[in-house]
């Protein structure tokens, strides 16, 4: 006999787990959610929200510097203390309002570590050591991800920052070395440089943010370098140690000595702190996967209905094989909730563009990287489309060459590109790079998901003088 019986139990109350529980509960199912740390997950306290709270003031300041008349009015530097205080308002480590929201919604919150013990059974070990056994028709894994530590000698012993210490930093270190030039690395380089730190960014491949169009990485590289970030491409960190002490003031934060990182080109980088931003792995090593024949520590391979096993085990968010993005995790969560509900009613599941399939995962994953320039993209890059076997042609256009772009900022530096499937004459990918492009991505997402033929897109007239006029120029460049 279990302590609690519910229709669905979700392990992990990040943004994704919360959405599954809510979606299922709103349609009449009883739901419990297990959380070992903070309701709201990594995203709310250590990732999306605090990082964007740090980046927005830096972005705004950079924009003022490209506007004659305003640049002079906004003199001096960004007030880091005020930025950190505002970050705390968004992402203080207090989850009471999110916990209240769960109870208001009628979802049972179980605080503690959740583990699957057998099919349809989960045990929660509470912080005081007591346990609660939960029996559920459906079990959803939404445990998120944790940082990867690459093999660098000494890395375990230097108290390196992860995204958690970086996004929750109580002060700006005078210098920071970042291991990894992916999305976390470039965003944190932008934020901490903008807040006054000396930043070195070490990336082992030959470009930044390698999953984006190569030109996006090149523009970002140029911009970061111009802002004073020391970007080391095609470089690996081989060893790191922490040294110094009270007498080594220039290279330390207020509480510890600086780090000395050895790179494979033989040089050394000294900084107050080291941030590890070399990718993430699923938080599935200690959730009882072995009890149901699955490999602990692996991404849970879910099909398009988010199902992992039988008609009872589901995986969503960073713990699954889907895109590691909050909005995609929440999309999976809505699908998962609806599948769980449909199965509980014995209803048939729908097909490709129904509420029961994560079709966009294959065709239309959008992402915005909040650097300066911003990089926004959806769907395939040119290379990824070719790898997927599509016949494509890509065209690009400088956003600074449309009236809206040149008005937005002096010397506007950025471009847009589209990848067209020439067999179907539809857009399968788009990229926007430049100041204030974040909000331009969704129009492209609609075009990709809607599979809107180019001839029809010709009639989607962008307003003058907006940066969206680049759509018209892209279509003309393509030959319309």
Ligand X SMILES: Cc1cc2nc3c(=O)[nH]c(=O)nc-3n(C[C@H](O)[C@H](O)[C@H](O)COP(=O)(O)OP(=O)(O)OC[C@H]3O[C@@H](n4cnc5c(N)ncnc54)[C@H](O)[C@@H]3O)c2cc1C
Ligand Y SMILES: NC(=O)c1ccc[n+]([C@@H]2O[C@H](COP(=O)([O-])OP(=O)(O)OC[C@H]3O[C@@H](n4cnc5c(N)ncnc54)[C@H](O)[C@@H]3O)[C@@H](O)[C@H]2O)c1
**Binding-site residues from annotation for FAD:** 52, 114, 143-145, 318
Given a contact cutoff of 8 angstroms between Cβ atoms, the answer to whether 196 and 176 are in contact is: no
x/- binding map, residues 107-146, to ligand Y, per CB under 6 A?
----------------------------------------
Q: List residues forming the annotated binding site.
A: 52, 114, 143-145, 180-187, 279, 318
The Cα-based distances of 403 to 140, 389, 397, 410, 476 in angstroms read: 49, 37, 13, 11, 16
Least CB distance to ligand X at residue 412 (A): 24
Neighbours of 217 (CB within 10 A): 23
Least CB distance to ligand Y at residue 180 (A): 3
Closest to ligand X by CB, 14 vs 376, is 14
Least CB distance to ligand Y at residue 436 (A): 15
Among 325, 428, 447, 457, binds ligand Y (CB under 6 A): 325
- Cross-strand partners of 123: 115, 133
Question: Which residue's CB comes closest to ligand Y?
Answer: 182
Among 9, 13, 80, 201, binds ligand X (CB under 6 A): 13
Residues 223-282 that bind ligand Y (CB under 6 A): 236-237, 277-280
Number of amino acids touching ligand X (CB under 6 A): 38
Given a contact cutoff of 8 angstroms between Cβ atoms, the answer to whether 240 and 258 are in contact is: no
Among 8, 10, 21, 144, binds ligand X (CB under 6 A): 144
Among 11, 197, 335, 444, binds ligand X (CB under 6 A): 11
Interaction between residue 416 and ligand X (CB under 6 A): no
Closest to ligand Y by CB, 112 vs 180, is 180
- Calpha distance 440→427 (Å, rounded): 15
Interaction between residue 202 and ligand Y (CB under 6 A): yes
Interaction between residue 203 and ligand Y (CB under 6 A): yes
- Calpha distance 161→169 (Å, rounded): 9
Only one of the segments 58-66, 182-190, 252-260, 418-426 lies at the binding site for ligand Y (rule: CB under 6 A); that segment is 182-190
Residues 80-119 that bind ligand X (CB under 6 A): 113-114
Among 37, 150, 426, 452, binds ligand Y (CB under 6 A): 150
Least CB distance to ligand Y at residue 438 (A): 9
x/- binding map, residues 165-204, to ligand X, per CB under 6 A?
--x----------------x--------------------
Residues 353-372 that bind ligand Y (CB under 6 A): 367-370
SS (H, E, C) the chain: CCCEEEEEEEECCCHHHHHHHHHHHHCCCCEEEEECCCCCHHHHHHCHHHHHHHHHHHHHHHHHCCCCCCCCCCCCCCCHHHHHHHHHHHHCCCCHHHHHHHHHHCCEEEECEEEEEECCEEEEECCCCCEEEEEEEEEEECCCEEECCCCCECHHHCCCECHHHHHCCCCCCCEEEEECCCHHHHHHHHHHHHCCCEEEEECCCCCCCCCCCHHHHHHHHHHHHHCCCEEECCCCEEEEEEECCCCCHHHCCCCCCEEEEEECCCCEEEECEEEECCCEEECCCCCCHHHHCCCCCCCECCCCCCEEECCCEEECHHHECCCCCHHHHHHHHHHHHHHHHHHHCCCCCCCCCCCCCCCHHHHCCEEEECCCCEEEEEECCHHHHHHCCCCEEEEEEEHHHCHHHHHHCCCCCCEEEEEEECCCCEEEEEEEEECCCHHHHHHHHHHHHCCCEHHHHCCCCCCCCCHHHHHHHHHHHHCC
**Residue 11 binds which one of ligand X, ligand Y, none, with CB within 5 to 8 A depending on kind?**
ligand X
**Residue 17 binds which one of ligand Y, ligand X, none, with CB within 5 to 8 A depending on kind?**
ligand X
x/- binding map, residues 263-292, to ligand X, per CB under 6 A?
--------------------x---x-----
**Residue 337 binds which one of ligand Y, ligand X, none, with CB within 5 to 8 A depending on kind?**
none
Only one of the segments 96-104, 203-211, 247-255, 350-358 lies at the binding site for ligand Y (rule: CB under 6 A); that segment is 203-211
Closest to ligand X by CB, 241 vs 327, is 327
Among 56, 86, 204, 355, binds ligand Y (CB under 6 A): 204
Residues 293-332 that bind ligand X (CB under 6 A): 317-319, 324-327, 329
Cβ neighbours for 122, distance < 8 A, ≥ 6 positions apart: 9, 11, 34, 114, 115, 116, 133, 134, 136, 139, 288
Residues that bind ligand Y (CB under 6 A): 150, 179-185, 187, 202-205, 210, 236-237, 277-280, 324-325, 367-370
Write out the residues near ligand X by the rule CB under 6 A: 11-17, 34-38, 41-43, 47-48, 51-52, 113-114, 142-145, 163, 167, 184, 283, 287, 317-319, 324-327, 329
């Amino acid at each position: 006999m279990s302590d609690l019986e519910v229709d669905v139990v979700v392990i992990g109350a990040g943004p994704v787990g919360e959405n599954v529980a809510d979606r299922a509960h709103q349609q009449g199912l009883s739901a419990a959610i297990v959380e070992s740390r903070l309701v709201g997950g990594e995203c709310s306290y250590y990732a999306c929200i605090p990082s964007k709270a740090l980046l927005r003031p830096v972005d705004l300041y950079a924009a003022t510097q490209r506007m004659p008349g305003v640049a002079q009015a906004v003199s001096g530097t960004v007030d880091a203390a005020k930025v950190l205080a505002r970050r705390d308002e968004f992402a203080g480590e207090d989850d009471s309002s999110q916990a209240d929201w769960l109870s208001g919604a009628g979802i049972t919150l179980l605080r503690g570590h959740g583990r699957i013990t057998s099919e349809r059974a989960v045990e929660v070990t509470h912080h005081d050591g007591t346990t609660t056994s939960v029996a559920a028709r459906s079990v959803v894994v939404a445990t998120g991800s944790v940082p990867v530590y690459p093999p660098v000698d000494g890395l375990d012993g230097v108290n390196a920052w992860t995204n958690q210490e970086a996004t929750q930093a109580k002060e700006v270190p005078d210098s920071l070395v970042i291991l990894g030039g992916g999305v976390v690395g470039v965003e944190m380089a932008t934020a901490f440089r903008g807040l006054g730190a000396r930043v070195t960014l070490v990336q082992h491949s030959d470009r930044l943010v390698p999953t984006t169009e190569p030109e996006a990485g090149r523009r970002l590289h140029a911009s970061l370098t111009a802002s004073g970030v020391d970007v080391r491409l095609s470089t690996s960190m081989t060893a790191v140690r922490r040294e110094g002490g009270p007498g080594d003031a220039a290279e330390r934060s207020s509480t510890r000595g600086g780090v000395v990182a050895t790179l494979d080109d033989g040089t050394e980088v000294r900084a107050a702190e080291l941030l590890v931003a070399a990718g993430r792995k699923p938080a599935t090593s200690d959730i009882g996967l072995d009890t149901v024949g699955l490999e602990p520590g692996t991404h849970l391979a879910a099909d398009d209905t988010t199902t992992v096993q039988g008609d009872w085990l589901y995986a969503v968010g960073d713990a699954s094989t889907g895109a590691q993005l909050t909005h995609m995790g929440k999309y999976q969560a809505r699908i998962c909730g609806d599948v769980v509900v449909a199965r509980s009613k014995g209803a048939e599941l729908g097909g490709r563009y129904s509420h029961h399939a994560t079709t966009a995962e294959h065709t239309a994953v959008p992402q915005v990287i909040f650097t300066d320039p911003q990089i926004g993209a959806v769907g395939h890059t040119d290379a990824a489309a070719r790898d997927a076997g599509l016949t494509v042609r890509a065209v690009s256009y400088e956003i600074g060459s449309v009236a809206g772009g040149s008005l937005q900022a002096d010397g506007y530096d950025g471009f847009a590109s589209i990848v067209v499937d020439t067999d179907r004459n539809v857009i399968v990918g788009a990229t926007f790079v430049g100041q204030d492009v974040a909000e331009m991505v969704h129009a492209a997402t609609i075009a990709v998901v809607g599979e809107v033929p180019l001839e029809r897109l010709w009639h989607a007239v962008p307003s003058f003088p907006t940066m969206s006029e680049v759509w018209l120029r892209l279509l003309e460049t393509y030959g319309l």
